[in-house]
Every structure is written in structure tokens, then in C-alpha cells.
């Protein structure tokens, strides 16, 4: 399985964190969004708002996990 770690960093700290992660850990950190004031969540793709994909219920009735 593939996992990705998501986290937030302040705008002024983001570039420092990116350089530090690359130099010390060999990790490539990439921005995937931004946090702004207000309510709700908006998902944009190519500058246009899109509906978020549906989630996955790991323990839904009928699943193989018990």
C-alpha cells in the first residue's frame, strides 16, 4: 500500500521546510493546497471547483474486514 503524509506549514516557513526536508532527509515536499479563512472545503482542479471523490468505508457491512 502507498501512503502519503499530509501536513500544514505557514507560508513563510514552507520554503524553509521544503529545503530542510530535501537536504536532511532526501524528501521532496510538494504543496497540494492552502488553508484560508472561512467555512467549508473547496476542491479545485485546474482552477475549477470540483466535487470531492467519495470516501471509502473500511468496515462497511459486507466488507471482507471483520
Query: Is 5 contained in some domain?
Result: no
Residues of the chain with pLDDT under 50: 66
Range of the domain at 39: 11-50
Query: Is 31 contained in some domain?
Result: yes
pLDDT of residue 4: 80
- Structurally, how many domains does the chain consist of? 1
pLDDT of residue 36: 86
Query: Is 38 contained in some domain?
Result: yes
pLDDT of residue 34: 85
Query: Is 33 contained in some domain?
Result: yes
Query: Is 32 contained in some domain?
Result: yes
pLDDT of residue 61: 79
Q: Provide φ and ψ at 44, rounded to 5°.
A: -115, 145
Alpha carbon distance 25, 7 (integer Å): 16
pLDDT of residue 63: 62
Query: Is 37 contained in some domain?
Result: yes
Amino acid at each position: 500500500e502507498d501512503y502519503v503524509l499530509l501536513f500544514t506549514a505557514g507560508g513563510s516557513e514552507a520554503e524553509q521546510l521544503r529545503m530542510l526536508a530535501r537536504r536532511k532527509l532526501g524528501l521532496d515536499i510538494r504543496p497540494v493546497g492552502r488553508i484560508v479563512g472561512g467555512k467549508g472545503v473547496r476542491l479545485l482542479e485546474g482552477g475549477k471547483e470540483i466535487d470531492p471523490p467519495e470516501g471509502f468505508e473500511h468496515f462497511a457491512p459486507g466488507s471482507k474486514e471483520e
